Amino acid sequence: MAREGRTTKATAPRDRADRLRETRNLKMARSAHAYVRGSTVKFYEWLEASPSSVPEGPPVWICGDCHLGNLGPLADRKGRVAVQIRDLDQTVIGNPAHDLIRLGLSLASAARGSDLPGVTTAHILEHLMVGYETALAGDFDAEGESALRPDSVRGLLDRSVRRRWSHLAAERLDTVEPVVPLGKNFWALTTEERQALRGLFDEEAVHALLTMLQSRDSSDPVTLVDAAYWMKGCSSLGRLRFAAMVRIGEGKSSILSLVDLKEGVTAAAPRALDISMPRDNAVRVVTGAKALSPNLGQRMLAVRLLDKPVIMRELMPQDLKLETGALTPQKATTLAAYLAAVVGKAHGRQMTHQQREQWLAELSRARSTSLDAPSWLWSCVVDLLGIHERAYLEHCRAFALSRAA
């Protein structure tokens, strides 16, 4: 791999844990919304302790960490783009209500971060339910999706379909050269890690995955060009995370590809009782992705690396994260309806017609004349907003004191 001769300063393997911990704390201290996004384990601990009674929906694969940043445009293996769930680390067969609460909390937190009036939170949850129920009822086909699509998402999709390899390389690597440059986000590998990655890309299943995408020739050789440990905020702490540059094909007709490898860890989201689910955490993530986000699932593979379960996926130029920026009341409510419909479609495709009807009936209960959303959803989101705000301030205080020490 092309690594010799490079002098860029980067974090050494022995210093990873400290750097990752500091980066995570800093990222979560930037805003209450960032704290919500980075506190999945605490979310479920607080939800379990909540006095609100959450109904049990049909057991389906759920995202488990359904916040704003985990939805966005994703390309399928032929380059076709759709907005789906982007991150399935926490996916389990569980209660679909948990995804609604997590998404509602994320939207409400973003609204508070945009200094929107409190009544906007109520309107967000009402529109969230409209979008989700529309999708469950089967009214979120191509025409229905277009009708609900906010201008911000429309612009993001337009940008997504125009992106090419050079955009991905410049964005992720800050270079279009065939290297993974060591520095702030990419760190040196150990000898053991380098050898393990070389062996991984010689495996038949890996070769089949990478040559299957975008109508590549199955006989094309796959060669590992370069690789590094990848520091990606909260998700890297305590686990394997690598970026690998591979060349597919030979000579002038060959193409470069960037592959993300992430260790699968135990999900914090509670699973449904008496339901069989893969024990291997990488297999669990890939299985959940195929059910919830087909565009992503068909590009993923569960592998073993350094005797640990790892999820492999090729990064596509069209894959983008949804960034909301400053919200207005109208932007917040239209975004809530659209994203909830994306989640509702992912849930609904796994349910039978009878299950969808029963779940819709359950969701229509426990509503008041002043709020057209289930009372349990309102109570959970409001309670969790308060809990997260306090925890966020405590985190900022502790982090500031540790930096000053």
Using an 8 Å Cβ cutoff, are 144 and 400 in contact? no
Using an 8 Å Cβ cutoff, are 130 and 50 in contact? no
323 vs 336, higher pLDDT: 336
CA distance 183 to 181: 6
Looking at residue 297, its amino acid is G
Question: To which residue do tokens 């300063």 refer?
Answer: 9
What pLDDT is recorded for position 7? 43
pLDDT surpassing 90 at residue 366? no
CA distance 124 to 307: 45
Using an 8 Å Cβ cutoff, are 306 and 299 in contact? no
- Is 8 contained in some domain? no
R_g (Cα) of the chain, nearest Å: 22
Which whole-number Å values give the CA distances from 362 to 99, 261, 352, 382, 392, in the listed order?
16, 40, 15, 21, 33
- Is 317 contained in some domain? no
- Average of pLDDT values for 112-121? 91
What pLDDT is recorded for position 105? 93
Using an 8 Å Cβ cutoff, are 111 and 128 in contact? no
- Is 397 contained in some domain? yes
168 vs 85, higher pLDDT: 85
- Average of pLDDT values for 160-173? 83
41 vs 331, higher pLDDT: 331
- Is 292 contained in some domain? no
Average pLDDT over the chain, rounded to an integer: 88
Q: How confident is the model at residue 6 (pLDDT cuts 50, 70, 90)?
A: very low
Long-range contacts of 343-346 (CB under 8 A, 24+ apart): 343/63, 343/66, 343/71, 343/85, 343/99, 343/100, 343/103, 343/132, 343/135, 344/131, 344/132, 344/133, 344/134, 344/135, 344/136, 344/140, 345/135, 345/140, 346/63, 346/84, 346/85, 346/291, 346/292, 346/293
Q: How confident is the model at residue 253 (pLDDT cuts 50, 70, 90)?
A: confident
Entry pTM:
0.89
pLDDT in tens, 71-107: 999 999 888 999 999 999 999 999 999 999 999 999 9
Q: How confident is the model at residue 5 (pLDDT cuts 50, 70, 90)?
A: very low
Q: How confident is the model at residue 358 (pLDDT cuts 50, 70, 90)?
A: very high
33 vs 351, higher pLDDT: 351
What pLDDT is recorded for position 106? 93
Question: Residue 52 sits in which domain range?
Answer: 30-162+322-404
pLDDT surpassing 90 at residue 235? no
What pLDDT is recorded for position 136? 93
- Average of pLDDT values for 287-316? 96
84 beta partners: 72
pLDDT in tens, 307-319: 999 999 999 999 9
- Average of pLDDT values for 277-282? 96
CA distance 159 to 171: 14
pLDDT in tens, 126-139: 999 999 999 999 88
Give the percent of the chain with pLDDT over 70: 93
What pLDDT is recorded for position 1? 53
- Is 197 contained in some domain? no
- Is 337 contained in some domain? yes
- Average of pLDDT values for 49-75? 91
- Is 374 contained in some domain? yes
Give me the number of domains the chain comprises. Answer: 1
What does the block give as tokens for 71? Answer: 């939805």
What pLDDT is recorded for position 176? 67
What pLDDT is recorded for position 369? 78
Phi, psi of 357 (to 5 degrees): -65, -45
Range in 103-112, 148-157, 187-196, 210-219 the model is least confident about: 210-219
What does the block give as tokens for 19? Answer: 């750097």
> Smallest Cα–Cα separation from 116: which of 371, 332, 322, 325?
332
What pLDDT is recorded for position 4? 42
Which whole-number Å values give the CA distances from 295 to 68, 104, 289, in the listed order?
18, 24, 9
> Smallest Cα–Cα separation from 128: which of 163, 159, 96, 170?
96
What pLDDT is recorded for position 51? 64
What pLDDT is recorded for position 292? 98
93 beta partners: 61
- Average of pLDDT values for 59-71? 95
What does the block give as tokens for 237? Answer: 């702490």
What pLDDT is recorded for position 365? 86
What pLDDT is recorded for position 237? 66
CA distance 235 to 90: 11
| Per-residue b or e along 86-111, where b marks 16 or more CB atoms closer than 10 Å to that residue's CB | bbbbbbbbbbbbbbbbbbbbbbbbbb
151 vs 303, higher pLDDT: 303
CA distance 111 to 333: 10
Who's near 58: CB < 8 A, 6+ residues apart? 96, 351, 355, 358, 359
- Average of pLDDT values for 179-193? 91
